[in-house]
């Protein structure tokens, strides 16, 4: 870009900022858009905000509201050369927590010391009302808290703060103490005849966890029924809370590992006992939980020693055999455990062990051999946990861009069992995703298991990582009590496979839905069209997968045409059976897809007269989730919409789009399409016109995303952005939350 155009961009930007600054002056610096919550972690003071029937606390069911000390203030940036801004406030309180803010305190006419006037919110000028004594401290009126407005100045900034003061020391301000509930404050600032307002709701809530301590090392003894019951009271040492009375705290108990969150029984009531029996073992851990009236939780853990001094338990303890997911430690269901041994001159003998309810088995019989092996096997649902995003991660490993950090990912990625990870593994997985195959190559089982004693975690192809236990014949009691396996799902390198036979998979980070658009056309019998599958919002993607279904008697998707935003080959899509089109695309490095771009084109032939939206849609059968993966690996579900429009052709000039996301909690990106090589400048400024971040880039023709780092907008608030590309200049506002 030439020097003249740069000067034009900067002058135009400066003039627009000068005009904006004049319009906004004075302006409020700190008026939040959300509803902030102020946490009360202090002990309740009975001498404050305790005046029935005007106050009521749903937390503990009486008139004594808990309270918090907080800083309510407003900062106003004044006009250059103007007088100092004046500030006032109206504070609306809901003292009885009925959802109605019935009590108003005006800074210009505060109530008497130690008092507020309830039920005055609908009175003219907020006059009158019922006198409520909120400060019960045994002090003279001149020493009681009185609502006040403290004004301080710093250069051209005026700061107004809600404070408490006393008549004895009117300028000795202290932080205001307000009661629990949902309240509101309306600030007013004025300077040189210009007024600004900030109206914000806020909430005061008890956030402090209760205190609980456990007795530990308690001994219990099994009775003749081979059981022992431990009540909660026997393990509880002490419990308390800053707000909720001890009698209103809710307690529960469970064995460690038997669940998550607050312990409830099958009827939904707090569980207050734990049972032990012969199968639980000697050393046990229990966890005690406490919940206060607003839902704050805390727990402690105690050890329990379970003794069988009466000898009521069976002498034999059978070894337990389980297979656990390497990624989360949970038991993998429906695993087949087998023992295998060899007799001379005969084929190997295999005996399957019976699994019990928790998905594990017991070594309850021994083979007639001096030596045998114990193995685990599961070969169901090869597509469990496997998505196109796994192909992205495997490609990055092969190209050494993001090598696998643990050896078990190598095991999962080696789908053809070649003891290496190559592009052949990617090709086989893509065939599986597209439905061209329903089995992994070389008879690879869908899960691979290794003994839990494996200690080499770098590369499982080297070192002591056997897939079976090699055992000598000995009494069952001499074997370890746990013979465990670790398992990884083949093809799943990010640990999303389900431990049960389902394609739903584990919970993943999920982003917002992305919409795809197709023109809704009326098709005539025999007509063939190429229709764009467009992306109205755009983004930066590393992978896409979806499955489309259609009535093959009505129309046919003949092919996927690769002249859109992503490069597609014949191996990226398939029609595994009539009426189904599957697509899987991935690329190492995010591909910019600009708003309105055609992702690809579908060549569709109609067999009968029909409406496209009546005959085609995204599949929801669960085999292949319709989703895209952005540049940081977040999964975005895809939705399909039929629209009465077609894509507009690209402009011959640069196209600059609005920032994404906006508002933002961090950085943002500005999509940009260039028709030729250009020098592009981007600038971020505050509302006063001060530049806070600049960047100039030389970019080739094509699609780009101009990244604005979070560090460019250090504080929350409104900023201005401006981009110059060739003869095109665009600007606007960007909100940092």
Task: Decide if pLDDT at 309 tops 80.
Answer: no
Question: Alpha-carbon distance 269 to 475, whole Å?
Answer: 45
Confidence of residue 591 (pLDDT cuts 50, 70, 90): confident
Task: Decide if pLDDT at 322 tops 80.
Answer: yes
Altogether, the residues listed in the chain come to a count of 737
Confidence at residue 222, expressed as pLDDT on a 0 to 100 scale: 85
Query: How far apart, in Å, are the Cα atoms of 715 and each of 24, 684, 707, 711?
Result: 19, 13, 18, 9
Question: Alpha-carbon distance 353 to 364, whole Å?
Answer: 8
* Alpha carbons within 13 A on the beta-carbon side of 257: 6
Average pLDDT rounded to a whole number, residues 69-92: 84
Average pLDDT rounded to a whole number, residues 164-179: 83
What pTM did the predictor assign?
0.54
Task: Decide if pLDDT at 735 tops 70.
Answer: yes
136-150, 308-322, 693-707: least confidently modelled range = 308-322
Average pLDDT rounded to a whole number, residues 418-435: 92
Crossing angle (nearest 10°) for helices 388-398 and 423-434: 170
Question: Going along 256-296, which residue ranges are E strands?
Answer: 273-277, 283-291
| Interacting residues of 292 by C-beta distance below 8 A, sequence separation 6+ | 206, 209, 210, 241, 243, 244, 248, 249
| Interacting residues of 575 by C-beta distance below 8 A, sequence separation 6+ | 557, 581, 582
Confidence at residue 318, expressed as pLDDT on a 0 to 100 scale: 80
399-403, 604-608, 658-662, 707-711: least confidently modelled range = 658-662
Confidence at residue 538, expressed as pLDDT on a 0 to 100 scale: 82
Which residues pair with residue 469 across a beta bridge?
Answer: 374
The answer to whether the CB of 629 falls within 8 A of the CB of 543 is yes
Confidence of residue 459 (pLDDT cuts 50, 70, 90): low
Q: In CATH, what is the architecture of 211-307?
A: Sandwich (2.60)
Confidence at residue 327, expressed as pLDDT on a 0 to 100 scale: 86
Average pLDDT rounded to a whole number, residues 516-539: 90
Radius of gyration of the chain measured on its C-alpha atoms: 35
Task: Decide if pLDDT at 544 tops 90.
Answer: yes
Confidence of residue 688 (pLDDT cuts 50, 70, 90): confident
Question: Alpha-carbon distance 729 to 678, whole Å?
Answer: 13
Give percent of the chain above pLDDT 70.
91
Cβ-based neighbour number of residue 328 at 10 Å: 10
Task: Decide if pLDDT at 213 tops 70.
Answer: yes
Q: In CATH, what is the architecture of 514-643?
A: Sandwich (2.60)
Task: Decide if pLDDT at 650 tops 70.
Answer: no
Task: Decide if pLDDT at 308 tops 90.
Answer: no
* Alpha carbons within 13 A on the beta-carbon side of 379: 11
Topology at the third CATH level for domain 3-19+651-736: Immunoglobulin-like (2.60.40)
The answer to whether the CB of 631 falls within 8 A of the CB of 639 is no
105-119, 121-135, 483-497, 648-662: least confidently modelled range = 648-662
Q: What is the three-class DSSP state of 107?
A: coil
Task: Decide if pLDDT at 606 tops 90.
Answer: yes
Task: Decide if pLDDT at 511 tops 90.
Answer: no
Confidence at residue 463, expressed as pLDDT on a 0 to 100 scale: 54
Tokens at 404, concatenated: 């696998």
Confidence at residue 22, expressed as pLDDT on a 0 to 100 scale: 43
Question: Alpha-carbon distance 107 to 307, whole Å?
Answer: 69
The yes-or-no answer to whether 31-206 and 211-307 have a common fold is yes
The answer to whether the CB of 193 falls within 8 A of the CB of 86 is no
The 10s digit of each residue's pLDDT in 1-19 is 444 434 333 333 333 333 3
Q: For the CA atoms of 363, 365, 368, 370, what is the dihedral angle to 10 degrees?
A: 30
Topology at the third CATH level for domain 31-206: Immunoglobulin-like (2.60.40)
Which residues pair with residue 693 across a beta bridge?
Answer: 684
The 10s digit of each residue's pLDDT in 337-385 is 999 999 888 888 999 988 776 789 988 888 888 899 999 999 999 999 9
Task: Decide if pLDDT at 663 tops 60.
Answer: yes
Using DSSP bridges, classify how beta strands 174-179 and 181-191 pair: parallel, antiparallel or unpaired. Answer: unpaired
Delimit the domains of the chain by residue range: 3-19+651-736, 31-206, 211-307, 318-344+351-507, 514-643
The answer to whether the CB of 490 falls within 8 A of the CB of 467 is no
Average pLDDT rounded to a whole number, residues 507-525: 86
Question: Going along 536-579, which residue ranges are E strands?
Answer: 539-550, 555-561, 573-574
Confidence at residue 674, expressed as pLDDT on a 0 to 100 scale: 86
Average pLDDT rounded to a whole number, residues 154-162: 89
Confidence of residue 654 (pLDDT cuts 50, 70, 90): confident
Q: What angle do CA 640, 644, 646 make, to 5 degrees?
A: 85
Task: Decide if pLDDT at 149 tops 80.
Answer: yes
Supply the mean pLDDT for the chain.
86
Confidence of residue 475 (pLDDT cuts 50, 70, 90): low
């Amino acid at each position: 870009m030439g020097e003249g155009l740069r000067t034009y961009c900067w002058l135009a930007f400066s003039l627009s900022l000068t005009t904006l600054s004049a319009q906004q002056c004075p302006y409020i610096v700190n008026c939040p858009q959300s509803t902030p919550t102020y946490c009360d972690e202090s002990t309740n003071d009975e001498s404050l905000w305790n005046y029935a029937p005007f106050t009521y606390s749903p937390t503990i069911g009486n008139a004594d509201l808990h309270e918090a000390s907080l800083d309510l203030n407003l900062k106003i940036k004044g006009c250059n050369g103007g007088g100092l801004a004046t500030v006032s406030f109206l504070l609306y309180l809901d003292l009885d927590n009925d959802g109605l803010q019935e009590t108003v305190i005006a800074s210009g006419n505060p109530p008497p010391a130690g008092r507020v006037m309830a039920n005055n919110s609908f009175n003219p000028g907020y006059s009158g009302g019922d006198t409520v004594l909120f400060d019960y401290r045994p002090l003279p009126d001149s020493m009681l808290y009185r609502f006040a407005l403290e004004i301080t100045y710093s250069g051209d900034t005026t700061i107004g703060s809600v404070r408490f003061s006393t008549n004895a020391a009117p300028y000795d301000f202290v932080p205001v103490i307000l009661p629990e509930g949902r309240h509101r404050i309306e600030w007013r600032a004025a300077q040189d005849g210009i007024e600004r307002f900030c109206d914000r709701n806020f909430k005061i809530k008890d956030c402090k966890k209760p205190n609980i301590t456990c007795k530990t090392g308690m001994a219990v003894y099994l009775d003749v029924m081979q059981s022992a019951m431990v009540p909660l009271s026997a393990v509880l040492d002490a419990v308390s809370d800053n707000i909720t009375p001890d009698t209103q705290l809710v307690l529960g108990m469970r064995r460690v590992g038997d669940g998550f969150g607050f312990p409830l029984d099958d009827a939904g009531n707090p569980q207050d006992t734990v049972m032990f029996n012969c199968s639980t073992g000697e050393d046990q851990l229990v966890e005690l939980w406490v919940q206060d009236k607003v839902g704050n939780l805390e727990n402690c853990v105690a050890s329990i020693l379970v003794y069988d001094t009466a000898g009521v338990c069976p002498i034999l303890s059978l070894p337990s055999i389980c297979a656990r997911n390497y990624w989360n430690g949970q038991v993998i269901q429906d695993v087949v455990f087998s023992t295998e041994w060899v007799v001379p001159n005969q084929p190997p003998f295999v005996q399957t062990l019976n699994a019990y309810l928790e998905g594990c088995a017991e070594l309850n019989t021994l083979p007639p051999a001096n030596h045998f092996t114990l193995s685990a096997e599961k070969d169901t649902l090869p597509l469990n946990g496997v998505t196109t995003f796994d192909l992205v991660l495997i490609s990055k490993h092969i190209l050494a861009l993001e090598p696998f950090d643990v050896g078990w990912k190598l095991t999962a990625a080696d789908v053809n069992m070649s003891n290496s990870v190559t592009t052949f593994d990617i090709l086989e997985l893509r065939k599986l995703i597209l439905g061209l195959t329903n089995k992994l190559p070389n008879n690879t089982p869908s899960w691979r298991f290794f003994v839990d004693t494996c200690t080499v975690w770098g590369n499982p192809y080297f070192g002591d990582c056997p897939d079976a236990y090699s055992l000598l014949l000995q009494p069952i009691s001499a074997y370890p009590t746990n013979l465990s396996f670790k398992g990884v799902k083949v093809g799943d390198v990010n640990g999303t496979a389900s431990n049960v036979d389902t394609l739903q998979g584990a919970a993943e980070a999920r982003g917002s839905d992305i919409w795809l658009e197709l023109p809704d056309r009326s098709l005539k019998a025999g007509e063939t069209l190429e229709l764009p599958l467009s992306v109205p919002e755009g983004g930066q993607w590393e992978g896409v997968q979806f499955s489309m279904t259609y009535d093959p008697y009505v129309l046919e998707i003949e092919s996927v045409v690769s002249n859109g935003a992503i490069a597609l080959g014949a191996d990226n899509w398939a029609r595994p059976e009539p009426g189904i089109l599957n697509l899987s695309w991935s690329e190492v490095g995010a591909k910019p897809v600009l708003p309105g771009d055609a992702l690809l084109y579908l060549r569709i032939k109609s067999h009968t007269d029909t409406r496209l939206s009546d005959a085609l849609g995204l599949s929801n059968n669960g085999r292949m989730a319709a989703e895209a993966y952005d540049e940081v690996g977040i999964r975005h579900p895809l939705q399909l919409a039929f629209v009465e429009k077609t894509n507009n052709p690209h402009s011959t000039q640069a196209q600059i789009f609005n920032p994404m996301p906006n508002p933002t909690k961090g950085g943002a990106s500005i999509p940009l399409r260039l028709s030729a090589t250009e020098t592009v400048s981007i600038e971020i400024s505050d509302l006063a016109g001060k530049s806070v971040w600049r960047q100039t880039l030389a970019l080739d023709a094509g699609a780009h995303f101009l990244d604005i780092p979070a560090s460019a907008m250090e504080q929350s608030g409104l900023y201005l952005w401006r981009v110059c590309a060739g003869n095109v200049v665009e600007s606007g506002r960007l909100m940092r939350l």
